Amino acid sequence: MNKTQLKRYAKLLAKTGINVKKGQWVIVQADLDQPEFVEMVVEELYRAGAG
């Protein structure tokens, strides 16, 4: 996957898959073999309102 696809997938996870609400706490547990993708997911979780 290219970077654009990874960003879209991270956004999909945050908004649809995890369904984060404003102020909700989220704990991310991940292997660090894909740190760039983990960072993208975390950024999208914050944008979606995670606290």
**For residue range 20-30, what is the model confidence (pLDDT) as tens digits?**
999 999 999 99
What are the start-end ranges of the H helices in 1-51? Answer: 3-12, 35-47
Query: What is the rounded CA–CA span in Å between residue 33 and residue 35?
Result: 6
What residue numbers bound the domain in which 18 lies? 3-47
pLDDT digits (tens, 9 = 90+) for 38-47: 999 999 999 9
Tokens of 45: 């979780």
pTM, whole model, 2 decimals?
0.88
Q: Judge contact between 3 and 29, C-beta under 8 A.
A: no
Q: How many domains does the chain have?
A: 1
The residue whose two tokens read 């960072």 is: 39
3-state helix, strand, coil in the chain (%, to 5): 55, 0, 45
